[in-house]
A and B are shown apart, each in its own frame.
Chain A
């Protein structure tokens, strides 16, 4: 991730997400709005900011998203727990990198992170959380893009 070398079990996170992707995305009826991709795709951002954006987005998911994603389906809840705990583990590594000041955000990325929070707050918290969880593959795809 740019200046940070962080061990991330992407395959594990993706495997967990894939098992609940259809279920979670089906709970999100709003097709005309994206939390992560509006107004611009993550792919438009400078790759040099990759570490900082990833750090802030992992904070976003840990602090704001997962806790509001409880469903009536216990299997889905178990998978969300797996992803949430994996994110917590990765965030710890990103935090260390951030503290060593290797992880700086440019103005464009800071604005993008602000926009994501605006998009998130534009919906009621459960809808926003479920939509954000359903967009996890958007984040993972962007993180893996070389």
Chain B
């Protein structure tokens, strides 16, 4: 039996705190190659004899990627490795080059939809999970120096920001913030809407 070569091109895809380990397939003619993934946190390296912990969802999988999000749940340096298996044969471990720390996840600006409902300024935000908060900035057009801020921790469909002056234009932009890694995304595109009514409310 020829030696089974270990998986190559092992890398991490991490966006918005969702982390995936990926690798190139190992080709063995006429055989179904399966893979198993293990991780090792800084704790295991320094305090637990460098033990490796298997990820059961990615044990004997035919996929060439593994969702490691649930296990990468601390802001420390993790090692990751994967090996190929065909029947009773298994390759050497292929280990990710260097470590992965979730602090390096790439953060995208949040999807956002701004709504004017009468005199009320509202925003719909994408639910990215419990780790995410949103910093929403809004201002009356022409008064760019008087920006208001609201931190939205609970994303539940339409969030009320503020009331608007009749007929005025208001602009909004938002960024995500993850307390666990103390990082923010860049801001979303600015969106502007107009409040109901044209005559000034004070004249009513």
Contacts and interface: CB of A to CB of B under 8 A. Distances in A.
Interface of A: 7, 9, 11-12, 15-16, 62-63, 66-67, 74-75, 77-78, 81-82, 84-89
A49 to B, nearest CB: 26
Nearest to B101: A89
Please classify the interface of chain B as helix (H, G, I), strand (E, B), loop, or mixed, using the class held by over half of its residues: loop
Q: Which of A15, A84, A87 has the most CB of B within 10 A?
A: A84
B28 interface: no
A63 B78 CA distance: 19
Contacts of B78: 85
A85 B76 contact: yes
Contact of A85 (B43, B180, B182): B43
Given A66-B43, A85-B43, A9 B71 contact: no
B54 A74 contact: yes
21 contacts: A9-B179, A15-B130, A16-B73, A66-B48, A74-B54, A81-B41, A81-B71, A82-B71, A82-B73, A82-B74, A84-B43, A84-B44, A84-B48, A85-B73, A86-B73, A87-B43, A88-B41, A88-B42, A88-B43, A88-B74, A89-B76
A42 to B, nearest CB: 24
B41 A84 contact: yes
A86 B56 CA distance: 21
Contacts of A77: 53
Contacts of B43: 62, 66, 81, 84-85, 87-88
Nearest to B75: A89
Contact of B47 (A9, A67, A89): A67
Contact of B74 (A11, A75, A86): A86
Contacts of B171: none
B55 interface: yes
Given A62-B47, A81-B53, 7 more contacts: A12-B180, A16-B73, A84-B43, A84-B47, A85-B41, A85-B43, A88-B42
A92 B56 CA distance: 30
Interface in B161-182: 179-180, 182
Nearest to B71: A78
A82 B74 CA distance: 6
Nearest to A11: B130
B48 A89 contact: no
In the complex, which range does the number of interface residues on chain B fall in?
20 to 34
B40 to A, nearest CB: 9
B189 to A, nearest CB: 30
Contacts of B56: 74-75
Contact of A67 (B39, B48, B131, B179): B48
A85 to B, nearest CB: 3
Contact of A78 (B48, B55, B179): B55
B42 A85 contact: yes
A12 B180 CA distance: 8
Contacts of B71: 78, 81-82
B174 to A, nearest CB: 22
Contacts of B70: 78
A18 B1 CA distance: 47
